[in-house]
Amino acid sequence: MYPAAFAYSAPETLDEALATLSQEGESARVLAGGQSLIPMMKLRLASPAHLVDINNISGLDHINSANGYLRIGALVRHNDIVNSADIAAHNGAIASAAPWVADPLVRNRGTLCGSVAHCDPEGDWNSVMLAVRAEVVAQSAAGERVIPIDDFVVDFFTNSLEPGEIVTEVRIPKYTGKGGGAYLKLERKIGDYATVAVATQLQLGDDGKISEAGVALTAVNNKNTRATAAEQALVGQEPSDELFKEAGALAARAAEPESNVRGTAEWKRNVVSVYTRRGLEASLAQARA
C-alpha cells in the first residue's frame, strides 16, 4: 500500500522545524524513526499533509546526565539504549526493557521519544517511563514545557502534545542510593509486541524499607497504566515475598485486558500478577547488589 500524498521537509535546525510545524498546524506530523508512522500512513490510518523529518537536526541524540536527571534525546534509537553503559549503570528498568523492543532492524531506526509520543498501549517504553517517573520535554515556537509522563499519556494512541510541539527529550530522575528496576515482557515470538508486560522500579531507604515504588503495565488497558494501588501498598514496607505477592494481586486489579488470540482476560491478569511479583524480586535483588 502507498501512503496518501504528503509534503516533506527535513530541516537542519530545531527552530526551522518548529517554524514549519507552527505554520502547518494539525496537518503536520514529526517523523523520527518512521517505524510506526510510515506503516500507519501506508495503511491509511494516518494521512498527514506534511512530514517534518527531524533526523537532520543535530543535538537531539544525547544520552547524558544533568541536574539530577538522565536525559534521552529525541533521536536516541532503541539500539543506542541497548548499548549505553550510562543507562546500564543507572537505570535497570530502562536497560532491561531495551532489548525487548521490536527486532534489531526496528531498534536501529525507532526512537524512544517516538515510542513515547506514539502512545501505543502495546508499546513498551511508556510503561517503563511511568515506573521510573519520567518527564517529557516538549518544545514549540512559543517555548518549552515539561510534562510529567502521567499527564503525557492520555489515552489509546493519544498524548497531550499541542500542535506545533516536538518532544526534544525525556528526563528520568537519576536515582541515587539503593535502587533497582526491571521490565518483564511476555511475547509470542522474538520481535513481537507484548501480550503482557510489567515495568517495576524500587528504591530502598537507609532502614531497608521501600521508599519509592513504580509499577506499570503494558497491553492490558487502553493505555500504558500505572498500578497505583500496588505502588501505594509497597511504599514504607519491609520487602517480603508476601508483600510482593500482594502487590502482584493489586496490579492485576488495575488490568482490564481483552480476551483474544493471545489469551483470555483472566490468564493475562494472572500474568500481570506473576510478572509484577517477579519484577519486584528482580528490582530488589538489584537494589541490594
Ligand X SMILES: Cc1cc2nc3c(=O)[nH]c(=O)nc-3n(C[C@H](O)[C@H](O)[C@H](O)COP(=O)(O)OP(=O)(O)OC[C@H]3O[C@@H](n4cnc5c(N)ncnc54)[C@H](O)[C@@H]3O)c2cc1C
Annotate each residue in 67-106 with x if it binds ligand X (CB under 6 A) or - if it does not, as one string. -------x--------------------------xx---x
Minimal distance, residue 27 CB to ligand X, in Å: 12
Minimal distance, residue 30 CB to ligand X, in Å: 4
Give dist(CA 183, CA 280) in Å, integer: 10
Using the minimum distance from each CB to ligand X, give the nearer residue, 70 or 199: 199
Using the minimum distance from each CB to ligand X, give the nearer residue, 22 or 237: 22
Q: Which residue stretch of 33-41, 127-135, 208-216, 271-279 sits at the interface with ligand X (rule: CB under 6 A)?
A: 33-41
The residues in 247-276 that bind ligand X, with binding defined as CB under 6 A, are none
The residues in 48-67 that bind ligand X, with binding defined as CB under 6 A, are none
Cell of 80: 543506542
The residues in 136-175 that bind ligand X, with binding defined as CB under 6 A, are 166-167
Number of Cβ atoms within 10 Å of the Cβ of 20: 18
Give dist(CA 43, CA 71) in Å, integer: 33
Give dist(CA 219, CA 169) in Å, integer: 24
DSSP 65-121: EETTEEEEETT-BHHHHHT-HHHHHH-HHHHHHGGGSS-HHHHHH-BHHHHHHH--T
Minimal distance, residue 66 CB to ligand X, in Å: 19
Rounded to 5°, the CA angle 161-163-167 comes to: 45
Using the minimum distance from each CB to ligand X, give the nearer residue, 146 or 285: 146
Positions in the binding site for ligand X (CB under 6 A): 29-37, 39, 74, 101-102, 106, 110-111, 113-115, 117-118, 123-125, 166-167, 191, 193
